[in-house]
Amino acid sequence: MSSQAATSIGTWVAARFSALVPDWLRTMFAGYPLARVITFIPTDKLNGRSTLSQDLLTTDTPKPVKNMRHKRIDVVAPSELFLRRTIKAPKISAAKLHAMATLDLRQHTPFDAQDVYWQLDTPQNQDGAIEVTQWVVKRADIEKWRMRLEAQGYQIRRIFVQGAQTAQPIADFSDALVPWQRGLRLFNGALALAATTAALAAWLYPSWVADRQADVLQAQAQDLQIQAVDLRREVEGLRGLDRERTTFLDTILRRPLLVDSLRELTVALPDEVWIASMVYSPQRIVMTGETSGSAAEIVLKLGGRRMLGNPRLSGPVQKTANQAERFELSVDLGRVN
């Protein structure tokens, strides 16, 4: 019972969805057959090409039409050819209305859901409950209708109940009229899928290319950053070498030479001075000696020389046995007065 209810609900949902799609669109893309709507009424009330006698549904015609191209029609059959039932249910059961209709059909009629075609009208609210009309017709009767009309050159696409409050057919034979419909659907579906895939690829391809380019540029940027760090280290190394070279050149070119310093001292010191020892460095000369004169005068004489700066007595002055003065004197080198 649950499977039958599920089938009925699925059919109902599919019918509602199918009604939203125009017939010409379904014909173009799904191979849906087109048909002309024909209303079947009593013979004495026929009034045009859109009506046929209902006797064609209920009576076998003794003279079938031969060699005639079949016309596809939608049958609007009189309501008296269907079993009309009224089903009432609480409002809370509105979502399960089809399942309830299936169960009610099985319990209160001699028919099984598999032996009939049935549909529900639009539900109506009645005193806090839902009331809906169920139309039922036996499958065997529908097959007779199809055979009788086919003998007259008509093929039934759909069958509607005249006066029913629903736009859905009670039976639909579209698939039987177009056996290649499934293949066309698959073909059009494949085309739609291919077109969608192509459109998606065309939409995503620039992003993919941009991502690839971004990855390449990011890798190049990282390489350049590494090169920049290496070059910075190289520049710092060259700067260090340049500073060392400058320092070396300054040391070579600007430091006072020993020969020049000795010559300057020889010229500056008076004849009465005797030098006992001399300690030389690029910055200064420290010497010890004796003079028969005054050690202070030696400091004054050295102070007037260009290369000898800041002459000073760096140690005590002592008298020797022969009344000479023993001294220790320091002179800065490379000073220009």
Contact between 333 and 297 (Cβ < 8 Å): no
The pLDDT tens digits of the residues spanning 40-73 come to 988 888 887 789 888 888 888 766 666 567 788 9
Contact between 137 and 115 (Cβ < 8 Å): no
DSSP 163: T
**Higher pLDDT among residues 281 and 197, named by residue:** 197
Domain residue limits, the chain: 2-179, 258-333
DSSP 44: G
Contact between 57 and 81 (Cβ < 8 Å): yes
Q: Which two tokens stand for residue 5?
A: 């209810």
The pLDDT tens digits of the residues spanning 208-238 come to 888 889 999 999 999 999 999 999 999 999 9
- Which CATH code fits 258-333? 3.30.1360
Residue 304 DSSP SS3: coil
Say what angle helices 23-30 and 181-254 make with each other, to 10 degrees.
Answer: 70
Q: Which of 84, 82, 40, 46 is nearest to 59 (CA)?
A: 40
Q: Which two tokens stand for residue 139?
A: 């499958």
Strands (E) located in the chain? 36-41, 51-53, 71-77, 83-90, 116-120, 124-126, 129-138, 154-161, 171-172, 273-280, 284-291, 308-313, 318-319, 325-333
Domain 2-179 has CATH 3.30.420: yes
| Beta-ladder partners of 278 | 287
Q: Which two tokens stand for residue 144?
A: 């007779």
Rounded to an integer, what distance in angstroms lies between the CA atom of residue 109 and that of residue 132?
A: 17
Residue 272 DSSP SS3: coil
DSSP 115: G
**Burial category of 190 from C-beta neighbours within 10 Å (exposed 0-12, middle 13-18, buried 19 and up):** exposed
**Higher pLDDT among residues 176 and 285, named by residue:** 285
Rg (CA), the chain: 60
The pLDDT tens digits of the residues spanning 240-289 come to 999 888 887 776 665 556 777 788 888 888 888 888 898 888 788 898 99
Two domains, one topology: 2-179 and 258-333: no
CA atoms within 13 A on the CB side of 189: 8
What average pLDDT does the segment 10-30 reach?
Answer: 56
| Beta-ladder partners of 129 | 90, 126
What average pLDDT does the segment 288-311 reach?
Answer: 83
